[in-house]
A and B are shown apart, each in its own frame.
Chain A
Amino acid sequence: MRVTAFTQLITVLAVTAVVFILPVQAVSFILVLELALLLYIKHDRMTMAAIGALTVFTGMMILLQLLFQSSLEVAMIGGLRMLVMTMAFLCLLAATRIQDIAQALVERFHMPCEYAFMLTTALRFVPDFLTDSSATLDAQSCRGYSNRGNVFKRMYSYLVVIKPLVMRAVAKSDTLALSMELKGFGANTYKNMKKQELGIGDYLVLTVVIILSTYKFWVKYL
């Protein structure tokens, strides 16, 4: 049973809202579900690293809250909520191709195609940019760049890496824009793709999402 990107997006958005309404036990349950789902979809090193990083980050958030004199309980619940929210996005990214998310955003949410396409290009060019930056760092190190000294001195000397990097990025984005122009990018780009039709799976998931997000409401009246 396949679920379209649209439903997944709605689910993620619903989860981020619902964590503030549902009781702690339910939120923890969602977390367990998310973890299981994530590990079911993808269990490579990247996913593990992402989960690890998120956990550490959450721990730091909790500590920070404690420093600002929240009670342990409030801090823990805050951390849990954040973890569930970010984990939901992680699930989304693991389960769906970014192209499908972009398409759903254009088709269902009427996002302008330029913005939606930015998601794809970002994913496409981030690795290139990382390669570029390490190459530039190497090149400038050969010419005497070093990251010694105090913070300000370091930041100042780092400019010699930033400048060529920005120049390169600008040149590249110019070429990219030209290429998109040549290939006729525009409103048609998403219009002509295969439509993402909703299936039984989608309706099922959407129903569950609706029931959960109106929990506060019907628990009062039933």
Chain B
Amino acid sequence: MSNYAVEFKNFHYAYNGGELVLKDINVSVKEGSFTVLLGPSGAGKTTMCKAMAGIIPYYYGGRYAGSVEVLGEDTKGRRVSDIAMHLGLMLEDYESQLVSLTAGEEVSFSLLNHGFPPEEVEEPTKKALEDVGLPGRENYQLDELSGGQRQRLLLASVLAVHPRVLVLDEPVSAMDPEGSVSLYKLLYKIHQKYNMTVIVVEHNLDYVLPYVTDMIVLQDGGVVASGSFEEAAAAAYEDRELRRILPALWQVKLNLEKRDGIHLGMWRNTKDAIVELKEKYGRAEL
């Protein structure tokens, strides 16, 4: 078995009657990594997430070539719900992905569907709700939960089957900054606790900077940079358009590195930056 969580091999895809949306994708995500998927709007990030879960091409049809492997197994010919046992996917519009009327039912839904008897479902349901910070809310009606809580509930329902890989499409796009920070904190905690591979589409890299290990940069349906976050960020910095979507802090860092031909460390936050700048330049006015 390979130690890649997800591996795209010469993958091409076009929606029904459309033109190519993903072009010759050759990229892999290491197991245990915290990978961010970055790219301008319309680059094909959501399409790529759906391809990982096997929804594409199974559900949408369309033309495709190449293969996608999840934990070393080709997604072709497998049922979407079986892949979901290994790779959990959370799409952007979380409200519409909740299918039940109470929190407990929502979390146990996929477990029951996979044939676990009702007695064996209670325990994992309880645990999944605890993991996302909603302990003891089994009997809550959906409308008794706030938007953020509903999103965590969806996360719990995805986590309930213990997937090895978690894929999230813009999880904080409808959230205030405070909620966003705490959601990523939670994701990191789960990533650490279960050594779960996390792949997340995020426009605002500031949120993921403290946790990220790898990055894939997508543009016009092709991968333009991938690998460790530092490598990929350096590669993205070379492109004028992509440069602007990097975090401000990293634009400074990469600019300094280029100007002075030095190598700076992995800046996870402003503090890291200040410490290193003081050390290297004797001052730090950002």
Q: State the Cβ distance, B254 to closest chain A Cβ, in Å.
A: 37
Known: A182-B80, A182-B89. A121 touches B99 (CB 8 A): yes
- CB-nearest residue of chain B to A188: B113
Q: Is A141 an interface residue (CB 8 A)?
A: no
* B173: interface (CB < 8 Å): no
Once the chains bind, are B80 and A181 in contact (CB under 8 Å)?
yes
User: Cβ of B284 < 8 Å from any Cβ of A?
Assistant: no
B123 close to A (CB within 8 Å): no
Contact B113 A178 (CB under 8 A): no
Are A175 and B157 in contact, with the CB atoms below 8 A? no
Q: Among A10-18, A22-30, A123-131, A211-219, which stretch is in contact with chain B?
A: A123-131
Q: In residues 82-103 of chain B, which contact A (Cβ within 8 Å)?
A: 82, 84, 89, 91, 93, 95-101
Contacts of A172 in B (CB 8 A): 93, 95-96
Would you call the interface of chain A mostly helix, strand, loop, or mixed? Answer: helix
Contacts A99-B101, A124-B142, A127-B143 hold; do A179 and B91 have CB atoms under 8 A apart? yes
B81 within 8 A of A: yes
Residues of B within 8 A of A99 (CB): 100-101, 105
Q: Is the CB of B110 within 8 A of A183?
A: yes
Specify the chain A residue showing the minimal Cβ separation from B121: A192
CB pair B99 A124 closer than 8 Å = yes
A128: chain B residues at CB < 8 Å are: 95-96
A183 near B118 with CB under 8 A, answer no
Question: Of A120, A121, A176, A192, which one neighbours B112 at CB under 8 angstroms?
Answer: A192
Q: Provided the pairs A124-B99, A176-B99 are in contact, do residues A183 and B115 lie with their beta carbons within 8 angstroms? A: no
Q: A193 in the interface, Cβ–Cβ < 8 Å?
A: yes
Chain A: minimal CB distance from B117 (Å) = 7
Interface: A57 (CB within 8 A): no
Given A178-B91, A192-B118: A186 and B59 interface contact (C-beta under 8 Å): no
Q: What chain B residues lie within 8 Å of A178 (beta carbons)? A: 55, 59, 91, 97
B53-66 interface bits toward A, Cβ cutoff 8 Å, 1 = contact, 0 = none: 10100010000000
Would you call A50 an interface residue if the criterion is a C-beta within 8 Å of the partner chain's C-beta atoms?
no
Chain B residue, CB-CB nearest to A194:
B118
Q: How far is the CB of A167 from chain B (nearest CB, A)?
A: 13
Q: With both chains docked as a complex, state the minimum distance between the C-beta of B158 and any C-beta of chain A, in angstroms.
A: 8
| A174 (CB) vs chain B CBs: closest residue | B96
User: Counting CB contacts under 8 A, is A184 at the interface?
Assistant: yes
User: Which chain A residues border B59 with CB–CB below 8 Å?
Assistant: 178, 181
| Partner of B116 from A173, A180, A186, A192 at Cβ < 8 Å | A192
- B258 CB within 8 Å of chain A: no
B184 part of interface (Cβ distance < 8 Å): no
Smallest distance from the beta carbon of A142 to chain B beta carbons, Å? 20
Are B96 and A183 in contact, CB atoms less than 8 angstroms apart? no
Whether, in the assembled complex, B109 has its beta carbon less than 8 Å from a beta carbon of chain A, the answer is yes
Cβ contacts under 8 Å, B142 to chain A: 124
Determine whether A54 belongs to the interface, using a CB cutoff of 8 Å to chain B: no
- Chain B 111-130 residues near chain A, CB threshold 8 A: 112-118
Task: Tell me the smallest distance from the CB of B51 to a CB of chain A, in Å.
Answer: 13
Q: Given A175-B93, A192-B115, A183 and B109 touching (CB < 8 A)? A: yes
CA distance A182 to B56 in the complex (A): 12
Task: For residue A185, give the distance in angstroms from its CB to the closest CB of chain B.
Answer: 6
Asked if A207 is at the interface (CB within 8 A of a chain B CB), the reply is no
Supposing A99-B101, A124-B142, A194-B118 touch, asked if A183 and B81 sit within 8 A by C-beta, the answer is yes
Q: Which residues of A contact B112 (CB under 8 A)?
A: 188-189, 192-193
Are A124 and B100 within 8 A (Cβ)?
yes
Tell me which residues across on chain A come within 8 A of B143, comparing CB atoms. Answer: 127
> Given A172-B93, A182-B84 in contact, is the A124-B115 Cβ separation under 8 Å?
no
Which A residues lie within 8 Å of B53 (CB)? Answer: 182
Q: Which residues of B contact A123 (CB under 8 A)?
A: 101
Docked Cα-Cα span, A192 to B110, in Å, equals 11
Cβ–Cβ < 8 Å partners of B118 in chain A? 192-194
Q: List 10 A-B contacts (CB under 8 A).
A: A99-B101, A120-B100, A175-B91, A179-B96, A179-B97, A184-B82, A184-B84, A184-B113, A185-B109, A192-B112
Which residues of B come within 8 Å of A, CB atoms? Answer: 53, 55, 59, 79-82, 84, 89, 91, 93, 95-101, 105, 109-110, 112-118, 142-143, 157
- For the complex with contacts A173-B96, A175-B97, A185-B113, 17 further pairs of A-B residues with Cβ separation under 8 Å are A99-B101, A99-B105, A120-B100, A123-B101, A171-B93, A175-B93, A175-B96, A179-B91, A180-B99, A181-B81, A182-B81, A182-B84, A183-B84, A183-B110, A185-B99, A188-B112, A192-B118
